[in-house]
Amino acid sequence: MPREIITLQVEQCGNQIGMEFWKQLCLEHGISKEGILEDFATQGGDRKDVFFYQADDLHYIPSALLIDLEPRVINGIQNGEYKNLYNHENIFVSDHGGGAGNNWASGYHQIRSHALSFAF
C-alpha cells in the first residue's frame, strides 16, 4: 500500500520553512529545480512518490499546498529558482493580498472558505 505525505505550508513562516524543506528533498532525491530527475538518481529503490507525484510530462511535483493571505513570500517562491517545481493550482494567495494585519479573526474569516475548498 503506497504512503504519501502532503505538506500544508501556511502563512509566511510555513511557506519559508516549506521551501527549505523541498529544496533539501530535491537534493536528497536527485530532483532538479525544475522537477526533472537527475541522471545519477535513476538507479536504486528511492521512493520519490512519498513526497512527490509525477506529472504527465514526467517531472516531479511536491505534494504540497501553499496558503498565504499576503503574497510576498509566495510570490518569492513563484519567481525564485524553484518556480517550475510547484503546481500553481496548489497555491492560494488571498484575492485582496493585504494579509490579515495581525488580526486573527480577519485572517480566519478570509481563509476559512478557501481552505475548505482545497480539502474537499
Q: Does residue 65 fall inside a structural domain?
A: yes
**pLDDT of amino acid 3:** 82
Q: Does residue 119 fall inside a structural domain?
A: no
pTM for the model stands at: 0.78
| pLDDT in 10s for each residue of the chain, 120 residues | 468 899 999 999 999 999 999 999 999 999 999 999 987 777 767 788 899 999 998 899 999 999 998 899 999 999 999 999 999 999 988 777 665 566 656 666 666 666 666 555
- Which set of grid coordinates corresponds to residue 79? 519567481
Q: Does residue 94 fall inside a structural domain?
A: yes
Side-chain-facing half-sphere of 21: CA atoms under 13 Å: 17
Domain that holds residue 27: 7-114
**pLDDT of amino acid 13:** 94
Residue 65 belongs to a domain with what CATH number? 3.40.50.1440
Q: Does residue 1 fall inside a structural domain?
A: no
Q: Does residue 120 fall inside a structural domain?
A: no
**pLDDT of amino acid 59:** 93
Overall number of domains in the chain? 1
**pLDDT of amino acid 115:** 61
Q: Does residue 86 fall inside a structural domain?
A: yes
Q: Does residue 19 fall inside a structural domain?
A: yes
